[in-house]
Chains A and B, each alone.
Chain A
């Protein structure tokens, strides 16, 4: 192998004629925090379940489309809970739908996160008072990590929610001693 005249030889590289090197430049060692690495991987590919039950779904769609492009943050939609890490509950949940929401959540593999998007998913919203059919907040069914207010929230708010969830994920301890 002849040295490339344009780039030259990197400093510290033993000459080819000097025999076998003590430590080859190709041998890399990375020392780091395993939690940091795992959390970084998880937050960088938050695939969300495409699950929309009301008008928030329209905002969710345009947040995923090219203008707001949640793909920039690693969030792409999946059509099945088996491939999803994040459940974005976008819209009103009725008691008839509640059973299905719970089942979809149970079908998602761990680790899984939930964002409640919009007033209906947070508290029941405009249906909070005097409604027999609307669940008063999706946190009555499944654990929620981030609540996004708005009726419906704008895509900027949704992206802010995703970024907040990413911050939450970065603080998780996966390999620490369990209490």
Chain B
């Protein structure tokens, strides 16, 4: 199914929660959705017979300086088509519903986005730091991150 058809289908189902289609220069095209509806949209994309996006290929955090985003890359093994899902978050206390009950693979990716960007995934099964030590302060992939001088007495 083409990106425009998928976008129209989502627009018909979720209305204003589906904001826009970013088609130019993106492969796959990205559907931008409101953060509150991410879980419902994800579940629809997986369960609908014509879409059946059964594979979450990647989930990444993005820092656009004035805002954050979370991008989802989806692929359907059955129909061999792909689509991107993107949601914009405010700079202050970014949080959105988890999708690890839709695709269990999301958990590690959400933990990474939480670890490095400080994006909170509400309702996650297990939201802990995944790469950095538990007692690390701050989220290093944020553009305004300030490096600590020392960690446990070792120069950083």
Contact = CB atoms under 8 A, between A and B. Distances in A.
Interface residues of B, number: 12
A132 B147 contact: yes
Contacts of B155: 136, 140
Contacts of A95: 133, 151-152, 154, 156
Interface string B118-147: 000000000000011100000010000101
Contacts of A132: 140, 145, 147-148, 156
A99 B156 contact: no
Contacts of B151: 95
A98 interface: yes
Interface string A91-123: 000011011000000000000000000000000
A133 interface: yes
A63 interface: no
Max chain A Cβ within 10 angstroms of own Cβ: one of B131, B145, B154: B154
A46 interface: no
Nearest to A99: B152
Contacts of B145: 132
Interface centre among A132, A133, A140, A141 (most CB of B within 10 A): A132
B154 A133 contact: no
Interface in A26-84: none
B89 to A, nearest CB: 23
A141 to B, nearest CB: 7
B110 to A, nearest CB: 20
Contacts of A86: none
**Residue of B133, B148, B152 ringed by the most chain A CB atoms within 10 A:** B133
Q: Which 7 A-B pairs have the closest CB atoms?
A: A132-B140, A96-B133, A95-B151, A132-B147, A140-B154, A98-B154, A135-B154
Interface of B: 131-133, 140, 145, 147-148, 151-152, 154-156
13 contacts: A95-B133, A95-B156, A96-B131, A96-B132, A96-B133, A98-B154, A132-B140, A132-B147, A132-B156, A133-B140, A135-B154, A136-B155, A140-B155
Given A132-B140, A133-B140, 17 more contacts: A95-B133, A95-B151, A95-B152, A95-B154, A95-B156, A96-B131, A96-B132, A96-B133, A98-B152, A98-B154, A132-B147, A132-B156, A135-B154, A136-B155, A140-B154, A140-B155, A141-B154
